[in-house]
Amino acid sequence: METNEKLHNKPKTSPETRKAARAARQEAQKAERKTPEKANEEQKPLFNPFFGYKKRRFPIWQRLIALIALCAIALAAGAMFGYGGLGHRSPLAVFEPATWQHILDFLKRD
């Protein structure tokens, strides 16, 4: 019982007024705000004309090139699958000019 009484009966400090407690709390908050602001200032660029601009990992021009390349690969793979897999012919024959000439002859026929 004695140990519990010692733990719960802490020595009381002098009571603070509300203004003093509020002032102490505000000082602690100001001190917390000052340290992260200095750290953030070092990371911010000197001039940023766009609000909230972040540098991209891949610029837009690289994304466009990647999109065009993926479309070309998908087109070639689809033609190979259609001509070779569904047409029961050699898939690499799609890339021969004679094959395309034969296809265009069917389209141009009146």
82: in domain: yes
User: What is the per-residue pLDDT for 3?
Assistant: 60
User: What is the per-residue pLDDT for 7?
Assistant: 57
Asked whether the predicted pLDDT for residue 9 surpasses 90, the reply is no
State the total domains in the chain.
Answer: 1
Higher-pLDDT residue of 35, 71? 71
- What is the full DSSP assignment across 4-68? HHHHHSPPPPPPPPHHHHHHHHHHHHHHHHHHHHHHHHHHS-S--SSTT----SS-HHHHHHHHH
Reported as a pLDDT band with limits 50, 70 and 90, residue 109 is confident
DSSP H or E stretch at residue 85: none
d(CA 86, CA 78): 11
103: in domain: yes
Domain containing 67 equals 60-108
User: What is the per-residue pLDDT for 53?
Assistant: 67
* pTM, to two decimals: 0.48
14: in domain: no
